[in-house]
Amino acid sequence: MSAPTAALRRVHRFVLSSPSTFIGLLLVAVNVVVALAAPLLAPFPPTKPDALAAIENPSGTHLLGTDQLGRDVLSRVLYGGHYAMLISLSATVLAVGIGTVLGCLAAYRRGWFDEVLMRILDAVLSVPAILALLVVVTVLGAGAPVIVLAATVVYCPAVIRVVRAAAFSIVGLDYVTAARARGEGFWPTMIREIWPNIVDVVMVEFAMRASWIMLLVSSLSFLGFGANPPTPDWGLMVSENRTLLTVVPAATIAPIVALAILIVGLNLAADGIAKAHGIDRIAGGLR
């Protein structure tokens, strides 16, 4: 049995024996299904205004009420995960993918390459994540590609450090040394010898970074640098309706609850995967 398959089997066994991990994965799965099925579940178009139904509290017609433009809150909440999930998934895949390759390369090469890369990462990690994203978005303009690029740049350094630390303990082992002695290059050695032994660390990093990037993307939308109106987005919905919290509280609270459920699910899943492999999540919390 290959190392990745064995890792997945360990996670599967742990999920079945850990209620919190199962609940976390279930919450994530429910959010993904709801986001995909939103066109079928939403009772109204999420961006269609209705001046005659503006600022209504929950009723039989509008189960979560309406916002100041008369748009159905439930429909916007159901659609709200699309933007954040798409941006977060894209940025997480890029950050973890690039971070894994560079982290393995740093552990494999060592020497001057490792030193230069680590000093660059120190400089990037010294800047708060939200501040770095705001600077990038201000300079390059708001938009999905810019946010994905900015989130990748912000979170990739932490992934590199964690993967590098995990790969360091593998690179010095006999089978890696034998592969290098046979003349195998970096890519064959990484794919065959290093990657199968760090896949568990990468899995935990992916779950962790996904939750952090999700929060960051929602924060940008709340500040006006993410999704543009009338896009149904959870962070944007909170920003638009916060002044009406005492009038139609559901318009503000519903997207907050939806985002919280997804973040809690991702964190429970990450904790479960980490415990399944005996990994300390604090070691990866560099950002």
pLDDT 10s digits, 78-124: 998 888 888 888 999 999 999 999 999 998 888 888 889 899 888 88
In-domain check, residue 44: no
- Measured CA to CA, the distance from residue 69 to residue 48 in angstroms comes to 9
In-domain check, residue 49: no
- Measured CA to CA, the distance from residue 79 to residue 34 in angstroms comes to 8
In-domain check, residue 54: no
In-domain check, residue 57: no
In-domain check, residue 60: no
Residue 145: asked if its preceding bond is cis (omega within 30°), the reply is no
Domain containing 276 equals: 3-36+65-284
* Mean pLDDT value across residues 20-34: 87
In-domain check, residue 58: no
Q: What pLDDT, on a 0 to 100 scale, did the predictor assign at position 261?
A: 92
pLDDT 10s digits, 138-179: 888 777 888 888 888 888 999 999 999 888 888 877 777 787
In-domain check, residue 116: yes
Phi/psi-derived region of residue 278, left when phi > 0, alpha when psi is between -120 and 50, beta in every other case:
left
pLDDT band at 286 (very low <50, low <70, confident <90, very high): very low
Residue 14 has pLDDT above 70, yes or no: no
Q: What pLDDT, on a 0 to 100 scale, did the predictor assign at position 100?
A: 92
Residue 285 sits at φ, ψ, to 5 deg, of: -85, 65
- Measured CA to CA, the distance from residue 203 to residue 107 in angstroms comes to 19
Residue 60 neighbours by CB under 8 Å, 6+ apart: none
As for how many domains the chain has, the answer is 1
Identity (one letter) of the amino acid at 223? L
pLDDT 10s digits, 239-284: 999 988 889 999 999 999 999 999 999 888 888 777 765 555 434 4
Going by C-alpha positions, the residue among 48, 59, 220 that lies closest to residue 141 is 220
Task: Give me the CATH number covering residue 198.
Answer: 1.10.3720.10
Percent of the chain topping pLDDT 70 = 90
In-domain check, residue 141: yes
